[in-house]
Structure 1
Amino acid sequence: MNKQDLIDAVAASTGETKASTAAAIDAIFETVLRTVSHGDIVQLIGFGSFSTGARAERSGRNPSTGEAITILAAKTVKFTAGKAFKDAVNA
C-alpha cells in the first residue's frame, strides 16, 4: 500500500473527500516528523512508538578497496510496534 492507496482507503472508510483526507494524513505525517526530529517520542497506543536513537562512530571497510574508513556518528529513527499491532500481524 502506498500513500495514495492509504488516502483512498481512509476516505472510503470515513466518507470524507480524498482532498480533505489527504490534507489530514499530510498533517499527521508532518506532526510526527517534526515531533520526532526534536527528540520527542510519538506514542500511539496499540500501534507503536516513533523515536530517535544514536549510532556511535565506528570503523568500517570500503568494500571496493578494502581500505579502513571511519563511519561518522548519526541519529537514527526507531519504531517500536505496539501490542495490538503485533497481535494483528501474528493473528
Structure 2
Amino acid sequence: MAKSTKPAAKKPAPARKGAATPAPKAEAGKIAKTQIIDMVADKTSLNKKQAGDAVATVIDCIVDALRGGSSVGLPGLGTLSVTQTAARTGVKPGTSERITIPAGKKVRFKVATTLKGTL
C-alpha cells in the first residue's frame, strides 16, 4: 500500500508586534444595531433593508418622543422618560477645584416588572 501524500498544513504566521487585530463586531454582552436588524429580518418576512428601515424608524420615533418631553412605554421592557437634574456643586478631578454643574436633563429607564421578575 502506498502512503497518501497530503500537503502539510500551513502554520499561521506569528503576529507582529503592534499589528492591529480586527475589532470584534460587538462587545461581550452588547448587541449592535446591525445584529438587531438581522434578528428582525430572521423573525419576520422582511429583508434586511426593510428591517433596517423599520428599526431605524422605531429608534427615531422614540428619540423624537423623548425630545418632545413624552415618556415612551415599551410593554414587557420598560418605560423611558426624561427627568430634570438640579444644579449642583462638584469637584474638578486633579485640581480639587469646586465647580458648579448646571441643571440639565437625563433619560431615565424604569424596567417593567414582568422583565424584572424574569431576569
Q: Return the TM-score normalized by structure 1.
A: 0.92
- Which runs of 5 or more structure 2 residues have no equivalent in the other structure? 1-30
1:60 aligned to 2:82?
A: no
- The two structures, once aligned, show a CA RMSD in angstroms of 1.0
- In structure 2, which of residues 12, 32, 55 is the aligned counterpart of residue 25 of structure 1? 55
Higher relative contact order (CA 8 A, sep 6+): 1
Paired letter, 1:37 = R
CA distance in 2, matches of 1:62, 1:44: 38
Aligned residue-pair number:
89
Residue pairs, 1:2-17, within 5 angstroms = 2-17=32-47
The offset of 1:46, in angstroms, is 1.6
- Of Structure 1 and Structure 2, the greater helix share is in 1
Q: Which residue number in structure 1 is paired with residue 112 of structure 2?
A: 82
Q: Which residue number in structure 1 is paired with residue 22 of structure 2?
A: none
Q: Which residue number in structure 1 is paired with residue 99 of structure 2?
A: 69
* Greater gyration radius: 2
The percentage of counterpart residues that share the same residue type is: 31
- Which runs of 5 or more structure 1 residues have no equivalent in the other structure? none
The offset of 1:84, in angstroms, is 2.3
